[in-house]
């Protein structure tokens, strides 16, 4: 499967009950990986300092390998949207908004709504975002988030075979009249400032924006015929809170040398050989997985990275939920 500048392959083998080995390869990394390495412009000494610190579990900014930078969340930033949030991870700053519109379900999934995700990289966020570089990275981030948050279930048939039956954003909750009317969610992400780990930050912002999303209550006319298009009345006053209990967080493990780290900065990403992003929900279910970087990974290493990602996701989920609750409390007070 090819998406923009990246190409991923995967193989799923069953071993016993519920076990799976993911064998992934990548010939070209996420669009912008090469540009990022060139733009950071580290000296040989700086590269060795970063790699040596990671090897000793003491990174350049004082963090351990599996520690995130400070995370802050603001909600309700965009009044015109049904939900919005701004998330900062260190110097990485992103915004996500959710807009709900009435639509028609896909014929392949008549009992589900649809979700589309688009990311825009502001040219002022980083020099590599200027011109074509920003467009390519936007497309790759959008596709990666679609896979991580929806598992391929954006309203079309999921041909990947990964997690067909659960996890991710619940599309069935967006159905209004089966085969006739549904909610279409348009999720837009904006990269305001970039200092690494964009996928995790955008995933967190989308989860926070969905927590902030109110879906208008819909009344379906009882007199509507079974063959025709039903009449619906959308309320301007009553809203239903979107259920985010199954919405995952994205955890990216970046491999530098023999070790892998979470929440890599731009300088650390410039030294990576590969990275795996795993989306995991509150129930511990893997909702999606994607890889970038040119170096291949042994299946045993991938399984270990998934296990570590599950452990880290609990800490990230708890921190994010706490920040979202605090942000919503501040929004209500104001």
| DSSP per-residue string spanning 215-262 | EEEEEE-TT--SSSPPPEEEEEEEEEEPP-TTPPEEEEEEEETTEEEE
Question: What confidence score (pLDDT) does residue 133 get?
Answer: 66
Is 16 within a domain? no
In a domain, 226, yes or no: yes
The CATH number of the domain holding residue 132 is 3.30.230.70
pLDDT level of residue 26 (50, 70, 90 thresholds): very low
Cα 58 → chain centroid = 27
Judge whether 201 lies within some domain. yes
Q: Which domain holds residue 304?
A: 45-152+166-332
pLDDT at 319 over 90: yes
Query: Within a domain: residue 20?
Result: no
* Triad 83, 88, 92: Cα angle to 5°: 120
Residues 6+ apart with CB under 8 A from 233: 218, 219, 220, 221
In a domain, 23, yes or no: no
Collapsing DSSP to helix, strand or coil, 102 comes out as strand
- Which residues, listed in sequence order, are joined to residue 262 by a DSSP beta bridge? 253
Assign 16 a pLDDT band (cuts: 50, 70, 90). Answer: very low
CA 245 vs CA 94, 117, 142: distances in Å: 22, 19, 22
**Count of structural domains, the chain:** 1
Spatial separation of the C-alpha atoms in residues 247 and 152, rounded to whole Å: 14
35 within a domain of the structure (yes/no): no
The neighbour count for residue 31, using CB atoms within 10 Å, is 24
Residue 146 belongs to some domain of the structure: yes
pLDDT band at 165 (very low <50, low <70, confident <90, very high): very low
- Give the pLDDT band of residue 80 (cuts 50, 70, 90): very high
CB-based burial, 270-281: b 16+ in 10 Å, e otherwise: bbbbbbbbbbbb
Residue 25, in any domain of the structure: no
Residue labelled with tokens 């009882």? 222
State the burial class of residue 222 (Cβ atoms within 10 Å of its Cβ: 0-12, 13-18, 19+): exposed
Q: pLDDT tens-digit profile of 290-305?
A: 888 776 788 888 899 9
């Amino acid at each position: 499967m090819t998406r923009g500048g990246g190409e991923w392959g995967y193989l799923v083998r069953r071993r016993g009950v519920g076990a799976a080995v993911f064998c992934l390869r990548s010939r070209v990394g996420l669009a912008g990986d090469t540009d990022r390495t060139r733009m950071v412009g580290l000296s040989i000494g700086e590269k060795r300092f970063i790699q040596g610190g990671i090897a000793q579990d003491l990174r350049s900014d004082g963090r351990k390998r599996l520690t995130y930078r400070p995370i802050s969340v603001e909600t309700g930033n965009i009044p015109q949207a049904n939900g919005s949030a701004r998330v900062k991870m260190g110097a990485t700053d992103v915004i996500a908004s959710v807009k709900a519109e009435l639509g028609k379900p896909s014929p392949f999934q008549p009992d589900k709504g649809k979700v589309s995700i688009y990311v825009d990289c502001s040219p002022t966020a980083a020099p590599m975002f200027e011109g074509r570089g920003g467009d390519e990275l936007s497309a790759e981030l959008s596709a990666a988030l679609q896979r991580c948050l929806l598992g391929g279930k954006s309203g079309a048939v999921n041909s990947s075979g990964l997690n067909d039956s659960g996890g991710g954003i619940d599309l069935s909750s967006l159905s209004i009249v089966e085969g006739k009317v549904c909610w279409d969610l348009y999720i837009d992400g904006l990269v305001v400032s970039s200092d690494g780990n964009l996928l995790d930050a955008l995933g967190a912002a989308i989860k926070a924006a969905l927590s902030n999303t109110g879906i208008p209550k819909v009344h379906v006319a009882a007199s509507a015929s079974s063959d025709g298009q039903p009449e619906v009345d959308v309320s301007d006053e009553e809203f239903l809170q979107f259920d985010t209990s199954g919405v995952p967080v994205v955890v990216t493990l970046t491999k530098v040398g023999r070790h892998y780290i979470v929440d890599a900065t731009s300088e650390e990403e410039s030294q990576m050989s590969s990275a795996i992003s795993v989306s995991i929900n509150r129930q511990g279910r893997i909702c999606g997985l994607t890889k970038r970087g040119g170096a291949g990974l042994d299946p045993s290493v991938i399984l270990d990275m998934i296990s570590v990602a599950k452990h880290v996701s609990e800490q990230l989920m708890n921190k994010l939920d706490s920040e979202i609750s605090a942000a919503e409390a501040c929004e209500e007070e104001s």
